[in-house]
Amino acid sequence: MIYLDNAGTTKMFEQCIDVHKHFSCQQFYNPSALSAISAKLSVCITDVEKFILQNLGANEGNVLFTSCATESNNLAVNGSLRNGDWEYVFSLGEHPSVFNVAKKLQLEGRKARFVPLCKDGTVDLQALEEVLNEKTRFISIIHVSNETGAINDISKISEIKNRKCPKAILHMDGVQAFKKIPLSLRSSAVDLYSFSGHKIHAPKGIAGLYVKNKNALKQLFEGGGQQYGLRSGTENVSGIMQLSKAVEMIDEKANLQKVQNLCDVFNKNISSDIKILQFGLTQNMHSPYIENLIFEGVKGETMLHALEKAGVIVGLGSACSAKKAGNRVLQELGQDANQIISSVRISFNAYLTEDEIVKAANIINQTYQMIKTKVQ
Ligand code: PLP
């Protein structure tokens, strides 16, 4: 089976299993307990926090460990709400774990403003500039789109934010960016940054939220006051240590080159009657980890099931929205309904081989020919 749905989730590094065993069966203590053995675990968590900060390219702030990026995103938005006549700004390219929160805020009578995307999938910076003002309390912009792979430019967004509303809180959803593309939050205006373990070969159930200034965020649930009082609940020590292991094992620069090469090989081997959509190319802001294929005349879902039988797993966009009709982000980019219904998301990881990629492309070509002939 060749797995090409790595934006959905990734295969966990086997090395994480030993870490899990150690921190679940041997060092299984509660890091908040008073025993010396527990205190050591608390130090381990702090060390991982520092290590993640380094990997985010941040030289200040903290990392909160959460159960998934859906939680991180909800915490970022809801933890930044304040009473008063504030405006909350969201790009139209947000993942449902931000977008649906934004819609809910609107229903609750808060002022949510939405920023459109350019045709290449990146956020329309001119529109962003027009929306931001001194009433803007919070801005959320996805770093790399999980649907299209388009990359939003942190430094340009930071410059606009600093100029138009320096006091606003800027959140970026970095789930498809962290450990995949170069990242440096150091000189940016980013206050909050979400990431998720299972997208980078760590287990499911562990994720994080970078927080530049702890005082600017409010906790979502009451409890024992763990993690600076911002995310109560006993820390998932094993998950945190496994996340650290995965982060340590990933050389994102080398991986990015490998994935770029795999993506090029794949595209060269895909037959010309299958349309390849790569977003963000016009501004050189495309992540090679994600692209879309259009199978004219055949439903993406039909292709997905046929490909699975033939040995290739692909995706239909965000796993969280895969069961819902249509694709909000592709629609926003002006793709017509037929194209959207015929689209499939391909997403790579750096540990695939060129042989697997060529094989997958051939299977995709053959499967499409076969189904197209049947349909006609
Ligand atoms: N944000 C983006 C951009 C994603 O791609 C995903 C998962 O698909 C999420 C958030 C949610 O991540 P999790 O599955 O950890 O909740």
Tens digit of pLDDT for each residue in 97-152?
999 999 999 999 999 999 999 999 999 999 999 999 999 999 999 999 999 999 99
**For 336-354, what is each residue's pLDDT tens digit?**
888 899 999 999 999 999 9
Tell whether ligand 1 has an atom less than 6 A from the beta carbon of residue 122: no
Tell whether ligand 1 has an atom less than 6 A from the beta carbon of residue 319: yes
Tell whether ligand 1 has an atom less than 6 A from the beta carbon of residue 10: no
Split at pLDDT 50, 70, 90, the class of 320 is very low
**For 207-255, what is each residue's pLDDT tens digit?**
999 999 999 999 999 999 999 999 999 999 999 999 999 999 999 999 9
Q: Is 343 helix (H, G, I), strand (E, B) or coil?
A: strand
Please give the Cα distance from 237 to 294 (Å, whole number): 43
Lowest mean pLDDT among 64-68, 161-165, 182-186, 314-318: 314-318
Tell whether ligand 1 has an atom less than 6 A from the beta carbon of residue 335: no
Q: How far is the CA of 69 from the centre of ligand 1 (A)?
A: 5
DSSP 106-121: HHTT-EEEEE-B-TTS
Of 223, 251, 245, 198, which Cα lies nearest the Cα of 72? 198
Tell whether ligand 1 has an atom less than 6 A from the beta carbon of residue 101: no
Q: How far is the CA of 143 from the centre of ligand 1 (A)?
A: 12
Q: What does the pLDDT read at residue 275?
A: 96
Split at pLDDT 50, 70, 90, the class of 324 is low
CB 202 within 8 A of CB 178: no
Q: Where are the alpha helices (DSSP H) in the chain?
A: 15-21, 36-55, 69-78, 96-107, 125-131, 154-164, 237-249, 252-269, 300-310, 328-332, 337-341, 354-375
Q: Are strands 169-173 and 192-196 parallel, antiparallel or unpaired?
A: parallel
Q: For residue 111, which phi and psi values (nearest 5 degrees)?
A: -90, 100
- Pick the atom of ligand 1 nearest to 174's CA: 3
Six token digits for residue 32: 């908040």
Q: How far is the CA of 373 from the centre of ligand 1 (A)?
A: 37
User: What is the residue-averaged pLDDT of the chain?
Assistant: 95
Closest Cα to atom 5 of ligand 1? 146
Tokens 């299958």: give the residue: 274
Please give the Cα distance from 7 to 317 (Å, whole number): 8
Which of 12, 70, 100 to probe ligand 1 with, by most ligand atoms within 8 A of CB?
70
Please give the Cα distance from 11 to 265 (Å, whole number): 22
Q: Is 0.85 topped by the overall pTM? A: yes
Which of 199, 209, 345 to probe ligand 1 with, by most ligand atoms within 8 A of CB?
199
- Pick the atom of ligand 1 nearest to 72's CA: 16
Contacts of 73 (CB under 8 A, 6+ apart): 95, 97, 98, 101, 140, 171, 173, 194
Tell whether ligand 1 has an atom less than 6 A from the beta carbon of residue 347: no
Q: How far is the CA of 146 from the centre of ligand 1 (A)?
A: 8
CB 298 within 8 A of CB 369: no
Please give the Cα distance from 103 to 143 (Å, whole number): 20
**For 50-87, what is each residue's pLDDT tens digit?**
999 999 999 999 999 999 999 999 999 999 999 999 99
Residues paired with residue 114 on neighbouring β-strands, in sequence order: 90
- Mean pLDDT, residues 270-287: 91
DSSP 45-63: HHHHHHHHHHHTT-SS-EE
Q: Could you tell me which residue, 330 or 37, shows the higher pLDDT?
A: 37
Q: How far is the CA of 48 from the centre of ligand 1 (A)?
A: 21
